[in-house]
A and B are shown apart, each in its own frame.
Chain A
Amino acid sequence: MIILKENHVKLLCVMKLESYIKENRKALDVEKPDEKYLWKGIIKAVGSLKKLRRLIISRSAAAVAAITILAIIGAYFIGRNQHNNLILVNVDSKLAKQEVILLRQIDDYSEQIKKTGFNVDQLVSGNREVEYIDDLIHYYSEDLKQNGPNPRLINSLIDLYEKKILVLNRMLNEIEKYESHEKRKINL
């Protein structure tokens, strides 16, 4: 506690404590801190915080840019692959739906044949027919891409898909017959 000298204590007026303090509020700020020492710490911390914030912002921006680029590249390739498979998507939405259904059926049959592990070259005509149909699908597709929608070609393409399904179905039946025949042979 500060020791008061007599001349500091003025009994000029008597006041209530609350109002006295309120009236002299500003004069109450009597202590002086080490201004220079405190400032050094403040400005150093503010500088490093700003640097850190800038670093975080630049790194975040770089990460966002990288993700965007990857997304664009991914979307481009996915779109390109889908576009390769779906020829009628740009012609007509109904035909496109039909194409999707037919291609799904083709994939299902091809998958089933693959699962049997049967050498399709042993089949009499199936595999050659499939190859021939695939060539035609490729040929018609290219024509449609280059020259735009052509009703005849579109119908032919749908027809080719259906034919391919029939051939694949026949191949699958043939494989099943062959396998059951083999089993019977073993049993005998």
Chain B
Amino acid sequence: METVTIDINNILVEKACQGDQKAMFRLYRMYLPAMYNTCIRMVVNKNDAEDIIQESFISAFSGIEGFRGEASFGTWLKRIVINNSINHIRNKKIKFVDMDTIQIDDTDSEDDDLPDIPMEVIHNSIKSLPDKARVVLNLYLLEGYLHREIALILGISESTSRSQYIRAKKLLKEILIREYDHIKGESC
């Protein structure tokens, strides 16, 4: 018997295009966790993240006719969320300046191993990173952007993006090791 695969996502998007609120709600529920977590890791503040998520879904649903289906709906929506998050950070007057002259030691990055740590801790550790390093780490490591793309989005050089990423990774490891030692100490 021939199996017919129906892409539920496309059907929901088509229905949402026609103004079907149930389809919109299903898309919303499907993508909310990923979008919200992406956003909050970028902007940190809960209220800001909620505002950005609302704004992003509103612009996605009200401009859904403009979605051409070149990428998946999720990819399209994530781009909106990331753009809105970056705009929000920019409005907070955080400047992404070039830092080519700053030397960051990344010699131990390849061999430095970490214990298996709950994702909740990593999520919160990322949120505690400094703004610029956090944004670059999110975009590169979690959202799969290339340093070339990050440089374009943030208006910095590619080497600055790399430097910020190395810095973010180093800081993150330090935070995680501290957390681990703290837990270890508590459990002893």
CB within 8 Å of B: which residues of A? Answer: 1-4, 6, 8-18, 20-22, 24-25, 27-35, 37-39, 41-43, 45-46, 49-50, 53
Interface pairs A-B: 4 shortest CB-CB: A29-B37, A6-B187, A14-B113, A27-B119
Contact yes or no, B33 A29, CB < 8 A: yes
Shortest Cβ distance from residue A8 to the other chain B in the assembled complex, whole angstroms: 5
How far does the alpha carbon of A38 sit from the alpha carbon of B25 in the complex, in Å? 11
Q: In the complex, are the beta carbons of A1 and B25 less than 8 A apart? A: no
Asked if A28 contacts B58 (CB within 8 A), the reply is no
Number of B interface residues at 8 Å Cβ cutoff, please give it.
49
Decide: B183 and A21 in contact? CB cutoff 8 A.
no
Contact between chains at B180 and A9 (CB < 8 Å):
yes
Name the B residues within 8 Å of A17 (CB-CB).
112, 114, 169, 172-173, 176
> Within 8 Å of chain A (Cβ to Cβ): is B94?
no
- Contacting pair B120 A2 (CB below 8 A): yes
In Å, the complex CA distance between A58 and B24 comes to: 25
CA distance A37 to B36 in the complex (A): 14
Asked whether, in the complex, the Cβ of B37 is within 8 Å of the Cβ of A31, the reply is yes
Q: Is B115 an interface residue (CB 8 A)?
A: yes
Q: Is the CB of B148 closer than 8 A to any CB of chain A? A: no
Contact, CB under 8 Å: A28 / B122: yes
Q: Is the interface of B mostly helix, strand, loop or mixed?
A: helix
User: Closest residue to B57 on the A side, CB-wise?
Assistant: A42
- Please choose the segment from B46-54, B73-81, B82-90, B152-160 that sits at the chain A interface, where 4 or more of its residues have CB less than 8 A away: B46-54
Q: Say whether B62 faces chain A, with CB atoms less than 8 Å apart.
A: yes
A–B complex contacts, Cβ < 8 Å, 6 sampled = A3-B186, A9-B118, A9-B180, A20-B116, A29-B123, A53-B62
Asked if B10 is at the interface of the complex by the 8 Å CB criterion, the answer is: no
CB distance from B82 to the nearest CB of A (A): 15
Say yes or no for B45: interface residue by CB 8 A criterion.
Answer: no
Q: Report yes or no: B50 in contact with A21, Cβ–Cβ below 8 A.
A: no
Partner of A42, one of B58, B120, B122: B58
Nearest Cβ on chain B to A165's Cβ, whole angstroms: 65
- Give the residues in chain A near B173, CB-CB below 8 Å: 17
Given A29-B37, A42-B54, A1 and B179 touching (CB < 8 A)? Answer: yes
Besides A16-B113, A21-B141, A30-B37, 5 new A-B residue pairs in contact (Cβ under 8 A), listed by A number: A1-B179, A2-B124, A8-B183, A9-B117, A46-B58
The minimal Cβ–Cβ distance linking B118 to chain A, given in whole angstroms, is 5
Verify A28–B53 contact, CB threshold 8 A.
Answer: no
